[in-house]
Structure 1
Amino acid sequence: MISSSQIKIKIEKLAIGGAGIARHDGLVIFVPQAAPEDELLVELTTKKKNFAEARIVEILKPGPARRNPPCRYAHECGGCNWQHLTEEEQRRQKELLVLETIKKFNPNLNFEYLPLQQSPRVLRYRNRIQPKFKDGKFGFFARNSHEIVEIDDCLITEEALTNKFPEVKAWAEAKKSKDLQRLEMYISDTEEVRYGLITDEDDGIGFSQVNRFQNEDLLKTALDWAGEDIYSQVFDLYAGSGNFTFPLAQKYKTASSITAVELNPKLVERGRAQSKDKRLHYFLSDVESYMKRASISKQDLVVLDPPRAGASEYIMRALAASQPKKIIYISCHPVSLARDLKWFFEYAEKMGRKYHLAKVQAFEMFPQTDHVETIAELRVD
């Protein structure tokens, strides 16, 4: 028997954030762990004026892309929200989501949209993870919970790390702490497995690309799109420890300066330690503060790789006003990218700057999840 809060729906497509989308009596319903064309019995968990959220009670008829997840923890663990989809469908949905999101914010932008770049690995690709330990339990948080799902393997993590799970669990247990221990494990530049605690005072190694196999393709694409132009200066905003900075410095040897801007002091320290090029200057600063004093000219290249929140309206307006020759924007969230492009092109038009969005390409950086990386090229007409 179906209760009054239960309804039958069919999933149309997937949304930013990974949930399925269905419509019922004029209401948009978001359903986590759904697949396109699933016919479901769901129970509403949250209801607002124009949308609702629901949980799956029963899969009445699975969509063609639904599968049994390869990982035995997938139904509990909060780490991978798309393991129930075939890899082909994951890629198709990401490609659609990026295009639809950019067009939603920027309906008048015309650009070349290249096919999604597939990850060389769909499993065993992560070189950095943050497991948890408490009360003898080692693993990851359950979905929408702070309960730990105990694991002895993680299929999206490189085996060099998962082989160390027993050692890291014993290390955490030896601390005899009753508090939750947030851990970090990663493969260093020298291929060593390292691990430690993340605390309020120490946030670990800071940001780095976790899929080193796909990062090579992303880096090559960014350099290719930057082109063979002669640039006076090269700016790498949100530079991290230099993932793009050092390859840019190597490629553009005639540029008078290579400027990297990064807020995390650990990453700046690592970047400065690697720097042997006298043209390279590392600034410890948030990007917005730096842009207030930056001197970017019409003969310069700007590369920016902001966090999920994207850049600010001020930064995008400042870039439009500076009118660099080319901008390469690497994004890890389609919504912030689309919004930033809207800010940029609206202000560029207002200022009479003739820019266009040349091309966009999605990158499968995080298989088995809804997360997607995107690269965009903006250039002067």
Structure 2
Amino acid sequence: MSEDVKDDSIVLEIKDIARGGSGVSRDASGRVVFVPKTAPGDRVRVRIIEEEKKYAQGELLEILDSSPVRQKPRCPAFGSCGGCTWQHLPYELQWKTKSSGVQHALSRVKIELPSSFEEHPAERIWEYRNRVQLRGEGSRIGFHAAGSRDLVPVNRCDIARPEINSAWETLREEGSRLPKPYKVEVAVEETGAIRKVWNSRHGAAGFRQIHDDQNAKLRNWIANTITSDPQRVLFDLFGGSGNLSLGLAARFAEIHCVDFSAPSVRPEGVPSHFHFHRAGVGEWLARTRNRVFPCAGRSAILDPPREGLADRFSEIEEAICRMNVDELVAVGCDPDAWARDVSRFIRRSWRLKAVALFDFFPQTPHIESAALLVR
């Protein structure tokens, strides 16, 4: 229930958490109101800052009565830093909300869960990020505030790996010698060494999944799910540096990893039948779709950007069908975009055989989803 108060604010009771991260309530008219930084059971004072016909966005002004499920955020910058949004929620509730959100995304496109459905919440929910992007000016170093470029100075990040936090004061000292505001990407290499890239484009330090433990779970799920046959060829599309396919090299006759960011030179230790193609996926498929591969069958892994295959879906699906791909793993980090792609494959006679969910991003609403489809 809600009640009007004397100013332009309203009092709401938060009933649920939306998969996008905000608390959910209804105002006196029954309209849904989303309120960030709230928990189910909170009684809060809110100002409406954005209105649509069926819903509104609220700004949290005051917590009048705190929910029993609310917990104290670990980070003193929580609420002002633009990073974590769920430190006030217990992890069990975070995971339940993420998993049910993916299932809701599938139900919206009329997909029932297959009998093979796995959930992989994170064991390591703090100090897991192997890569962060810091901003600074002089001796002040931290992150941008939510929705702005204002600097929120911090002395550590509670979701960053210990190696990054150990380097914090060194980063502050190095940044203070620079003549203007700066950006530094800091990554923990697989060896444990720290890599720093100053004032370069986003991703200059290279892409790598930020939660190594959860990444290992995703790799293992793919290895246990995809067909194991040394006579098959595997196409790893949007494959980066081969994160999801390098470990499968011994199980395929050929592997082709395609991405704009793929290595231009074969890295040391990569077997000769593993081929990197530094190109756009659509461009490469258009050049390759009529090539004859001397293999008995073909599999594909698709791990596109956040928006999914989007308007490239038909082009890519038709190309992989012409190349006789008969099974694919579809990976996505946006539940709606991923579920939409899965539904489009199903409408084109692919069958959904398995689904698995992975939490790469504790303390945030984000989740990674994977599906096995065959035809």
1:360 counterpart = 2:361 = no
* Deviation for aligned residue 1:139: 0.5
Check if 1:295 corresponds to 2:292: no
SS in 1 for 2:271: coil
Could you tell me whether the CA contact under 8 Å between 1:119 and 1:214 is conserved in 2? yes
Indicate which of 147, 152, 165 corresponds to 2:150.
147
Structure 1 position 229, deviation (Å): 4.5
Tell me how far apart the structure 1 counterparts of residues 151 and 59 of structure 2 sit (CA, whole Å).
Answer: 21
Aligned amino acid, residue 356 of structure 2: Q
Q: State the alpha-carbon separation in 2 of the partners of residues 311 and 187 from structure 1.
A: 30
Paired residues of 1:198 and 1:204 also in contact (CA < 8 A): no
Matches within 5 A, 1:1-381: 2-24=5-27, 25-104=29-108, 106-112=109-115, 114-177=117-180, 180-200=181-201, 203-229=203-229, 232-252=232-252, 255=253, 257-264=254-261, 267-269=262-264, 272-274=266-268, 276-295=270-289, 299-315=297-313, 318-319=316-317, 321-322=321-322, 324-346=325-347, 348=348, 353=349, 355-380=350-375
- Per-residue CA distance 1:114-172 (angstroms, 9 max, x = gap): 34212131101111110101243100112222111111111111111111111111111
- The 3 A distance-change label for structure 1 pair 203 and 219 is closer
Deviation at residue 100 of structure 1 after TM alignment: 0.5
* Aligned-pair CA distance for 1:55: 1.2
Deviation at 1:260, TM superposition (A): 0.4
Per the alignment, in what secondary structure is the counterpart of residue 344 of structure 1? helix
* Amino acid in structure 1 at the alignment position of 2:280: D
RMSD: 2.2
Percent identity of the aligned residues?
Answer: 27
Q: Retained in 1: the 8 A contact 2:195–2:205?
A: no
TM-score, normalization: structure 2?
Answer: 0.90
Matched letter for residue 250 of structure 1: A
Runs of 4+ with deviation above 4 angstroms: none
| Residue 295 (structure 1) shift | 3.0
- Unaligned stretches of 5+ residues in structure 2: none
Question: If the length of structure 1 is used for normalisation, what is the TM-score?
Answer: 0.88
Give distance in 2, aligned partners of 1:121 and 1:194.
Answer: 22
Could you tell me whether the CA contact under 8 Å between 1:109 and 1:357 is conserved in 2? no
The residue identity in structure 1 corresponding to 2:220 is K
Q: Which moved more, 1:65-74 or 1:153-162?
A: 65-74
* AA aligned opposite 1:208: R
| Change in 2 beyond 3 A, CA 1:73/1:231 | farther
Letter matched to residue 15 of structure 2: E
